[in-house]
Structure 1
Amino acid sequence: MIDSILDQMTLEEQVSLLSGADFWTTVPVERLGVPKIKVTDGPNGARGAGSLVAGVKATCFPVGIALGATWNPELVGQMGAALARQAKSKGAAVLLAPTVNIHRSGLNGRNFECYSEDPMLTAELAVAYIDGVQGEGIAATIKHFAGNESEIERQTMSSDIDERTLREIYLPPFEQAVRRASVMAVMSSYNRLNGTYTSEHYWLLTKVLRQEWGFDGIVMSDWFGSHSTAETINAGLDLEMPGPARDRGEKLVAAVREGKVEAATVKAAARRMLLLLERVGAFEKTPALTERAIDLPEDRALIRRLGAEGAVLLKNDSILPLAKTSLDRIAVIGPNAATARVMGGGSAQIAAHYTVSPLEGIRAALANANSISHAVGCRHNRLIDVFKGKITVEYFKGRGCKGHPLHVETVEKGEFFWFELPSGDLDPAHFSARMTMQFVPEESGDHVFGMTNAGLARLFVDGALTVDGHDGWTRGENYFGTANAEQRGAARLEAGKAYAVTVEYEPSTANGEGINLIAVRFGVEKPLGEADIAAAVETARNADVALLFVGRDGEWDAEGLDLPDMRLPGRQEELIERVAAANANTVVVLQTGGPVEMPWLGKVRAVMQVWYPGQELGNAVADVLFGDVEPGGRLPQTFPKALADNSAITGDAAVYPGKDGHVHYEEGVFVGYRHHDTRAVEPLFPFGFGLGYTRFSWGEPKLSSYEMGPDGVTVSVDVTNIGDRAGSELVQLYISSPKTKVERPDKELRAFAKLSLQPGETGTAVMKIRPRDLAYFDVEGGAFRAEPGNYQLIVAANAADIRFIIDQPSPSAYVLSPSHQATSLIG
């Protein structure tokens, strides 16, 4: 059928398939019965089309690093299937996920969205995720291909990475997604790779992806991430997103007529687009036109389980789990206690059905809720607290909010990120909006209003201009670098008095590097100070245990910017130290999208990292704190003692964050634990680390063979739960190679198995390694090479906790082409 349709298409019709129709849909060819399909973000939920931060509600699942911490591909596969069902509820056929870029620096704004610093762990989870999504008839889109490990100058930065490092660290998750999961779509990244934009990188998109790996799906650009006509189509980019066409359309037709692009190249790309439509069943069924919010009990249960499975207990000085019946007074403190920080920022955001804060989860878990006291202590927000309450929004044709509004609506949050305006009669480039609301402060005193806008805006309080986001507007780092830095204005307000707040907004035609977005965010808060920290300390002093909920949120861990450092923002470190001094039973619960320095670690009794685990955050945290379930997580990323211990942080700007438009991956393959092990840099917490509530004993490893053959070697380890609680144990298998002509890491993860065992139960961790697992990439030979010699198999609980070392003789050297086919076997 596809070839029949394709043969009937004109060149113009073929070209029309190669650009989006709008932000989320492809172009139909009605004459030939070719439908359009819809795509949707994202990694931790299926968002509706109308807005990044509002619109039809969606189920909010854990972020990528929280999934990485589960080390549980089976559970991640279940989440993929659930996400596919959510995508169907939004009428979408393609999910723009998963994100599999590698944790390189620890400062990447999208570190939270990615799984791990290790390509093998990343690949296993990605394959499971994709299998889950595509098993339900929805296409997965693995991203961002490739070298997108930082958000700094992300539209133009060149990631300069040598081929060996690419092949061993940054490409394997994409490769495995193609080979094992048959992923249907790949998204190119914004950045350049070794000087060439990935959207027009022939070596990457055609030679490696299609010719070597056999990929037969589509390659789409990241949104506004294509920059040319002939170069992108000739390199292998099929779909320019979003639409309408910018570099395709008439420009591409003209490029064919002028001989810059072969007609066969266009036809091949159009064929891949039609194949995608066929694979997702678009020719047989019509997706729902109306987006629906489906909040399923099975999804709630899965999110709650994933939250506990990914919670990593980093320290426990005989205090956890807490006994529900023996605690008379519990202090719940910190900026993340009463506010549910359930996701990171950027395109992964969704409008969740609901959220459960830690304070709410703890209250629900305890019968005697009166025993709980709460104090904020301090703030950590990068932006002023967003306004929440009734807001009337009036939309006008043209600028200046003049005449009668064309559309009026009421919303509950002072943040607007429009993909679609509420009326088709409104021109996204030539409209204006007025938001009016009342603010009634709870306390008298100085308040701060803040606003950031992609476009032009002004905020008035009782008619007085308080925040000017119009005159002198300059681009900052908010909204993917298309908005200004947050502008602020102070006002002294009286408690209980109603103040009229008005925001007037209109779009701008030039707000950022090829991406024109329409968005505004405004808020108000009363700054916290010394009295608030002192109140939190007193709250802790009068409690049996102090639970401190600290970390960051989606304003810090966000697409479009990297973190300034690896410290907790605001006065949180001071808050921890002062609370711990007042209460010896202080437990810290961290929410961050990556590692943090912990100068206060020795002063608290327990530390648990829970990441951003989705809408069931509070319930999942309470489950673990009170021992209803165990903390099942293990670190997917090394936590260094200090930022300078990271291999990318050398003091040379060319290595990170970049210099003169280039960031040089000078550390090569020595990323994460590979760096810490090989360079003898002791971490704060090693890769794979995590404590539980029970104890295990390990038997001696057993091997299927002591010689590596084409079918590989199986390693099995018996593990027994010798404690009195159910729990899980992670068994990791690393290889250590003999000396080669290139430097190799001390050890490299090649397999793992996670066992869940009842008290007294014994299970067997079964792990398999194959010839490729012994190999490094030989750039001169253009192949993966495993030199002859003895390879050590290292069985470990984490990168620093080695249980067994087995010498594995390998009498022959395997030379494997990048396509995995053994081209020769030499003795």
Structure 2
Amino acid sequence: MPETRPTPADGDREAAVASALGALDLDTKTRLLAGQDVWSLPALPEIGLRSLVMSDGPIGVRGARWSADDPSIALPSPTALAATWDPALAHRAGVLLAQEARRKGVHVLLAPTVNLHRSPLGGRHFEAYSEDPYLTGAIGAGYVRGVQSGGIGATMKHFVANDAETDRFTVDNRVGERALREIYLAPFEAIVEHARPWGVMTAYNTVNGTTMTEHHHLVNEVLRGEWGFDGCNVSDWTAARSTVGAVEGGLDIAMPGPRTVYGEALARAVRDGLVQESTVDEAVRNVLRLAARVGVLEGAAPAVAEPPALVDGPALAREIARRSFVLLRNESGALPLRPGTVALIGAAARDARVLGGGSATVFPSRVVSPLDGLTAALPEGSLSYCVGADPAPELAVAQYGFELRAVCRDAGGDVVGARSAPSGQIQWTGTDLPEGVTGAALHTVELTGTFTPRATGLHTFGIKGAGAFTLTVAGTTHYDGVQLPADDGDPFEAFFGAPVARARVELAAGEPVEVSLAHVHDLPAEVPIEVVAFALAHQEPQRDADELIAEAVEAARAADTAVVVVATTERVESEGFDRTDLRLPGRQDDLVRAVAVANPRTVVVVNSGSPVELPWRDDAAAVLLTWFPGQEAGAALADVLTGACEPGGRLPTTWGSLADAPVTRVAPADGRLHYDEGVFIGYRAWERQGRTPSYPFGHGLGYTDWTYESVEARGTTVRIRLRNSGTRTGREVVQVYLAPTAPDDTRPVRRLAGFAGVEAAPGESAEVVVELPRRAFEIWDETAGAWTFVKGSYEIQVGRSIADRRLTAAVNV
């Protein structure tokens, strides 16, 4: 584990950093602060500095190549990791990701995301942990410690109040000082205190009138000054807009390169007297310190001399998934499955949704679907499958049935290079072009190969991206023109934008046809990232929805148990846009209702990264939430459904209808988004407004029962004794809430103050000890500009969720 407080080794590294800094001239220093490309900083051989490489997370390490032909381990979504309520498991995830980073030549992981679930409509909700700052900080700290124990830098992001995607580059989030301190800054502060992260990423958005890449108060005075953060501050990609404002605001690295506000522009600002060279030196010192810690600066011992033992990635992905699954409902012991026949229903059961869209995307070498997992786990002949209802009445990146390669040509039409294309998505940066290809010579990229349909009927083909395209299917050119970008100004349109349908072709199942999508590479001069990005998209023939549901009903009626897998899609949950509702897409709600009528033993598996409405929840015998479960999705699901393992998750966020949700505004007005709710988000807001959610914060069932026997509070130390009163070994998450005895409208009715996991065999008792942090008794005094300890009487409430509190004790402080 890396050190969490300064040690003598830190002093030695500081000496090496100072020596290296003293050997650099102004131009070299400012060049080091600017990315040399999309993912790395320049090497400086004169001081023994190798190039430092960064990569996106948080569920895997993509590396410098954004392509399915460079696979990565894909862990479950951050919401799933938080649902384990287990910082030690988050630590193990971090250890694995450090291992993946070393394998891919990456030194800094751009993760974890510790923004909060302010509103269920946040499009990137799945990439953050929780609505609660305490739980977020605990899971995030475990993750950071794990990553850095492997000698890889972790970058907590996005600092701060980056809680929605609408107008994310320009929105000015107006947040009161108390809410900022108690809610949005709190998890960052906890991670600095408990994990000593080596990096932070400042966000696109503005906070209270100042863009975060230039926020001197929050970065220099709070993060570095009050909290003592000594790591490196990197901008979100393209977020830095002002040379002087950024460096004065504490930004160390402006990414990506080569076009940034640093480099030559920063050197010129120093020479013009607009910036002190000492300010530049501090930024360079932070970069060199990071380089020393990760072992790319000669003469400085890395923070970790020997990485931890190797981790079995697929096994850990499977364990995290099943530990994260939340059993919301289980009537009459519907789960685990009893012996008999099972009708598996749902498009997502065959084509699993294992991760969210956007920069969190990685490409696993394999994905175990629910159909794969249950086929392997259940007796032969006991499982049937049908689609039931397709959740994705839209095009998706070409994948199933396609065998493609990318061919690169120059302006004369000569082939200059080629590369395999495991999917229809091309995402190449300037340093990741196929061998022999240069940006200057590249004129056309053609995705070409064959497509073997899984179904007979009218197939739809489309294009994602902007520019000139030629689409040919089965020898016929269906589109030859220029596809214009969306008008929202998002520079990542080719990554996150929606595909456009361009051809509909009648094809026969099992009969291969030739397909080709050619794209003219012509980047505008103002594009900040040198990248080749576009995709061939596809949609299978759309059958009548009522007909599909009728087939599912017949299958369910004929089986002992029906398992329906419902899911969101990449057009529902992704970076780049917020949600407009919480409904499951397509006719999936109708499907569940119909199947539940046909078979009273209907188990619904909800495959979404963030809350969706479940209007049929009381009709289903069991409801199991699997989040985005990572590459081992189906194997973990089989473990839980068959009873080989218990579903271990508890909700890290309240689930309810959009009509009842207390905080729903994510779109700014006149460029500003006011956080008028103050400290009241999540369960704090639900309780304040007296609303009852579908499932409360902390809720989750297991396969055994627990009796809470006693609680004892001595000062801030709480001891809880409980007993497994069920029939099988299980794990319980004991949750401790702190409630002021005297009514106070300015404070939540109660707040999470601690938690602990415990395992016990049937009949066995166990004791857990929870230490309540001082901060649980404090509020931010806006008048004094300081934390205030609120003395008085409090009730300690212990239970299984915020709504299922079993024991109480009093404490006076």
TM range, smaller chain: over 0.9
Measured in 1, the distance between the counterparts of 2:627 and 2:202 equals 27
- 2:642 aligns with one of 608, 614, 626: 626
Q: Any conservation in 2 of the 1:478–1:485 contact (CA below 8 Å)?
A: no
Match status 1:393 vs 2:406: yes
Match status 1:6 vs 2:6: no
Measured in 1, the distance between the counterparts of 2:183 and 2:92 equals 26
Answer with 126-135 or 20-29: which moved more.
20-29
Q: Any conservation in 2 of the 1:428–1:507 contact (CA below 8 Å)?
A: no
Distance 1:748 1:783, change over 3 A: same
Counterpart residue number, 2:285: 271
Amino acid at match of 2:344: V
- 1:615 aligns with one of 616, 631, 647: 631
Task: Kindly state the Cα deviation for residue 662 of structure 1 after the two structures are TM-superposed.
Answer: 1.4
String of CA shifts for 1:240-295, please: whole Å, max 9, x gaps.
Answer: 111214211111001001111110000111011111111112235999xxxxxxx9
**Any residues of structure 2 matched to 1:342-361 within 5 Å, and which?**
342-361=354-373
Counterpart residue number, 2:482: 470
Distance 1:77 1:715, change over 3 A: same
| Structure 2 unaligned residues grouped into runs of 5+ | 1-15, 302-308
Task: Kindly state the Cα deviation for residue 804 of structure 1 after the two structures are TM-superposed.
Answer: 2.4
Amino acid at match of 1:397: D
- 1:571 aligns with one of 571, 584, 587: 587
Counterpart residue number, 2:237: 223
- 1:764 aligns with one of 760, 767, 771: 767
Measured in 2, the distance between the counterparts of 1:683 and 1:780 equals 35
- 1:481 aligns with one of 493, 512, 522: 493
Counterpart residue number, 1:680: 690
Task: Kindly state the Cα deviation for residue 452 of structure 1 after the two structures are TM-superposed.
Answer: 1.1
**Any residues of structure 2 matched to 1:557-706 within 5 Å, and which?**
557-640=573-656, 642-649=657-664, 655-705=665-715
Measured in 2, the distance between the counterparts of 1:184 and 1:763 equals 37
Q: Any conservation in 2 of the 1:447–1:491 contact (CA below 8 Å)?
A: yes
Answer with 684-693 or 495-504: which moved more.
495-504
Task: Kindly state the Cα deviation for residue 786 of structure 1 after the two structures are TM-superposed.
Answer: 2.4
Q: Any conservation in 1 of the 2:662–2:689 contact (CA below 8 Å)?
A: no
- 1:163 aligns with one of 164, 174, 177: 177
Q: Any conservation in 2 of the 1:476–1:485 contact (CA below 8 Å)?
A: no
**Any residues of structure 2 matched to 1:63-74 within 5 Å, and which?**
63-74=77-88
Task: Kindly state the Cα deviation for residue 37 of structure 1 after the two structures are TM-superposed.
Answer: 1.3
Match status 1:330 vs 2:342: yes
Distance 1:297 1:794, change over 3 A: closer
Task: Kindly state the Cα deviation for residue 573 of structure 1 after the two structures are TM-superposed.
Answer: 0.6
Match status 1:148 vs 2:162: yes
- 1:777 aligns with one of 775, 780, 783: 780
Counterpart residue number, 2:276: 262
Distance 1:380 1:689, change over 3 A: same
Counterpart residue number, 1:303: 317
Counterpart residue number, 1:793: 796
Q: Any conservation in 1 of the 2:335–2:622 contact (CA below 8 Å)?
A: no
Amino acid at match of 2:188: F
String of CA shifts for 1:574-597, please: whole Å, max 9, x gaps.
Answer: 111111122221100001111111
Answer with 548-557 or 259-268: which moved more.
548-557
Measured in 2, the distance between the counterparts of 1:63 and 1:777 equals 32
Distance 1:372 1:247, change over 3 A: same
Match status 1:115 vs 2:125: no
- 2:65 aligns with one of 43, 50, 66: 50
Q: Any conservation in 2 of the 1:334–1:549 contact (CA below 8 Å)?
A: yes
Q: Any conservation in 2 of the 1:794–1:802 contact (CA below 8 Å)?
A: yes
Distance 1:255 1:623, change over 3 A: same
Distance 1:392 1:797, change over 3 A: closer
Task: Kindly state the Cα deviation for residue 738 of structure 1 after the two structures are TM-superposed.
Answer: 5.1
String of CA shifts for 1:599-627, please: whole Å, max 9, x gaps.
Answer: 11121110000101211111111111111
Amino acid at match of 2:262: R
SS at match of 2:397: coil
String of CA shifts for 1:12-53, please: whole Å, max 9, x gaps.
Answer: 1111211111111111111222221111121111113121x4
Aligned length: 784
Distance 1:785 1:155, change over 3 A: same
Distance 1:501 1:134, change over 3 A: same
Match status 1:137 vs 2:135: no
Measured in 2, the distance between the counterparts of 1:458 and 1:164 equals 55
Q: Any conservation in 2 of the 1:38–1:91 contact (CA below 8 Å)?
A: yes
Distance 1:535 1:742, change over 3 A: closer
Counterpart residue number, 1:377: 388
Measured in 2, the distance between the counterparts of 1:358 and 1:512 equals 45
- 1:542 aligns with one of 558, 571, 579: 558
Counterpart residue number, 2:37: 22
Task: Kindly state the Cα deviation for residue 335 of structure 1 after the two structures are TM-superposed.
Answer: 1.6
Percent identical residues:
39
Amino acid at match of 1:808: V
Measured in 1, the distance between the counterparts of 2:68 and 2:209 equals 38
Answer with 22-31 or 738-747: which moved more.
738-747
Counterpart residue number, 2:537: 523
SS at match of 1:65: helix
Distance 1:515 1:380, change over 3 A: farther
Counterpart residue number, 2:351: 339
Measured in 1, the distance between the counterparts of 2:738 and 2:526 equals 47
Amino acid at match of 1:789: G
SS at match of 2:755: strand
SS at match of 1:112: helix
String of CA shifts for 1:141-195, please: whole Å, max 9, x gaps.
Answer: 0000011111111111111111110101111111111111110000011111122
Distance 1:322 1:700, change over 3 A: closer
Q: Any conservation in 1 of the 2:703–2:728 contact (CA below 8 Å)?
A: yes
Task: Kindly state the Cα deviation for residue 510 of structure 1 after the two structures are TM-superposed.
Answer: 4.5
Counterpart residue number, 1:426: 438
SS at match of 1:378: coil
Answer with 525-534 or 277-286: which moved more.
277-286
SS at match of 1:676: helix
Amino acid at match of 1:160: R
Task: Kindly state the Cα deviation for residue 296 of structure 1 after the two structures are TM-superposed.
Answer: 7.4
Task: Kindly state the Cα deviation for residue 395 of structure 1 after the two structures are TM-superposed.
Answer: 0.4
Answer with 768-777 or 690-699: which moved more.
768-777
Measured in 1, the distance between the counterparts of 2:479 and 2:683 equals 47
SS at match of 1:406: strand
Q: Any conservation in 1 of the 2:257–2:529 contact (CA below 8 Å)?
A: no
Distance 1:725 1:755, change over 3 A: same
Distance 1:485 1:356, change over 3 A: closer
Task: Kindly state the Cα deviation for residue 438 of structure 1 after the two structures are TM-superposed.
Answer: 2.8
Answer with 17-26 or 183-192: which moved more.
17-26
Distance 1:756 1:508, change over 3 A: farther
Q: Any conservation in 2 of the 1:648–1:665 contact (CA below 8 Å)?
A: no
Task: Kindly state the Cα deviation for residue 197 of structure 1 after the two structures are TM-superposed.
Answer: 1.1
- 1:438 aligns with one of 441, 447, 450: 450
Counterpart residue number, 1:88: 102
Measured in 1, the distance between the counterparts of 2:18 and 2:334 equals 63
- 1:457 aligns with one of 469, 484, 492: 469
SS at match of 1:307: helix
Measured in 1, the distance between the counterparts of 2:360 and 2:403 equals 26
String of CA shifts for 1:100-159, please: whole Å, max 9, x gaps.
Answer: 110011111211111100000000001111111111111100000011111111111111
Task: Kindly state the Cα deviation for residue 360 of structure 1 after the two structures are TM-superposed.
Answer: 0.7
Match status 1:211 vs 2:214: no
Task: Kindly state the Cα deviation for residue 560 of structure 1 after the two structures are TM-superposed.
Answer: 0.8
Task: Kindly state the Cα deviation for residue 630 of structure 1 after the two structures are TM-superposed.
Answer: 0.6
Amino acid at match of 1:605: A
Counterpart residue number, 1:720: 723
Amino acid at match of 1:196: T
Q: Any conservation in 1 of the 2:713–2:811 contact (CA below 8 Å)?
A: no
